[in-house]
């Protein structure tokens, strides 16, 4: 869905609409400035506890480094970094393309990788969503999967309608929490840092 569609659904849930275009109605005006903040809160909850947003980072694998190891702080290399799945690290080199089984993680964001001349590492990670603002165009698509996107208007309505109709706002928050828990149960489990992976095939 687009940002405009998300706002429209949130307004419809708050009954702050009339006619065919709720975003253009006077009733919507008081809520529009607060929508990006409410949406960013909901996006953060959905992307870190519900449906993760997967990104990839490509980096050179060669280089002269102490101990022939490369150190990468993923928080510096990818500003939207949230968490790493250490089983989604690959090496492409003249020898081929395969999982980087000897990669090692340190803490939450540090990655140690053996230097390989002529190669590159492909690292998949989970990302925070891009923040929304009052300048975000209505036709911009969100980065969440559809099953998570549909929950965002519920969260927005629950936050924006607290003063006008607390009972309805509470109902929407309860519906959001139920949906979030459903997503959480089916989401991939994050793994702790410090785990090393050793190649048993000797491909490198």
pLDDT recorded at residue 159: 96
Q: What's the predicted TM-score (pTM) here? A: 0.76
- Is the same domain home to 121 and 168? no
Asked if residue 183 lies in contact with residue 175, where contact means CB atoms within 8 angstroms, the answer is no
Q: What CA–CA distances, in Å, run from 63 to 66, 123, 147, 199?
A: 10, 18, 42, 21
pLDDT recorded at residue 172: 96
- Is the same domain home to 119 and 67? yes
- Is the same domain home to 57 and 46? no
pLDDT recorded at residue 196: 39
Per-residue pLDDT of the chain (204 residues; tens, 9 = 90+): 999 999 999 988 887 655 566 666 677 788 889 999 999 999 999 988 867 888 999 999 986 665 688 999 999 999 999 998 878 999 998 889 999 988 898 988 999 999 998 899 999 999 999 999 999 999 999 888 888 999 999 999 999 999 889 999 999 999 999 999 998 887 666 654 434 333 333 322
Q: For 196, which DSSP code?
A: B
The H-or-E segment that residue 158 falls in is helix 152-160
- Is the same domain home to 44 and 92? no
Asked if residue 65 lies in contact with residue 100, where contact means CB atoms within 8 angstroms, the answer is no
pLDDT recorded at residue 65: 61
- CA 147 – CA 27 distance, rounded (Å): 29
* Pair of tokens at residue 172: 């929407």
- Is the same domain home to 116 and 137? no
Domain that holds residue 118: 53-127
Cβ neighbours of residue 50 under 8 Å, at least 6 residues apart? 148, 151, 180, 183, 184, 187
**Which CATH number characterizes residue 119's domain?**
2.40.10
CA angle at 156 for the pair 7 and 172, rounded to the nearest 5°: 120
Q: For 124, which DSSP code?
A: E
Count CB-CB contacts under 10 A for residue 110.
17
- Is the same domain home to 67 and 118? yes
pLDDT recorded at residue 188: 65
In the chain, the number of structural domains is: 2
Per the domain annotation, does 19 fall within a domain? yes
The DSSP result for 70-110, as a single string, is EEEEHHHH-TTEEEEEEEEEEEEETTEEEE-TT-EEETTTE
- Is the same domain home to 45 and 64? no
CA dihedral 108, 52, 186, 190 (to 10 degrees): -10
pLDDT recorded at residue 177: 96
- Is the same domain home to 164 and 117? no
pLDDT recorded at residue 28: 79
């Amino acid at each position: 869905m687009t940002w405009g569609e998300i706002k429209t659904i949130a307004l419809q849930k708050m009954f702050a609409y009339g006619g065919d275009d709720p975003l253009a109605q006077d009733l919507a005006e008081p809520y529009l400035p607060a929508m990006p903040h409410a949406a960013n809160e909901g996006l953060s909850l959905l992307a870190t506890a519900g449906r993760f947003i997967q990104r990839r980072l490509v980096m050179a694998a060669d280089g002269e480094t102490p101990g022939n190891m490369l150190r990468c702080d993923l928080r510096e290399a990818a500003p939207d970094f949230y968490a790493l799945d250490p089983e989604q690290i690959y090496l492409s080199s003249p020898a081929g393309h395969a999982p980087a089984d000897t990669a090692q993680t340190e803490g939450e964001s540090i990655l140690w990788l053996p230097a390989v001349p002529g190669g590159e590492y492909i690292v998949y990670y989970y990302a925070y969503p891009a923040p929304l603002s009052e300048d975000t165009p209505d036709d911009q698509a969100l980065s969440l999967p559809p099953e998570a996107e549909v929950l965002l208007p519920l969260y927005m309505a629950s936050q924006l309608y607290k003063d006008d109709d607390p009972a309805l706002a509470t109902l929407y928050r309860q519906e959001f929490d139920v949906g979030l828990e459903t997503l959480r149960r089916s989401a991939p489990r994050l793994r702790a840092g410090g785990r090393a992976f050793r190649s048993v095939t000797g491909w490198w």
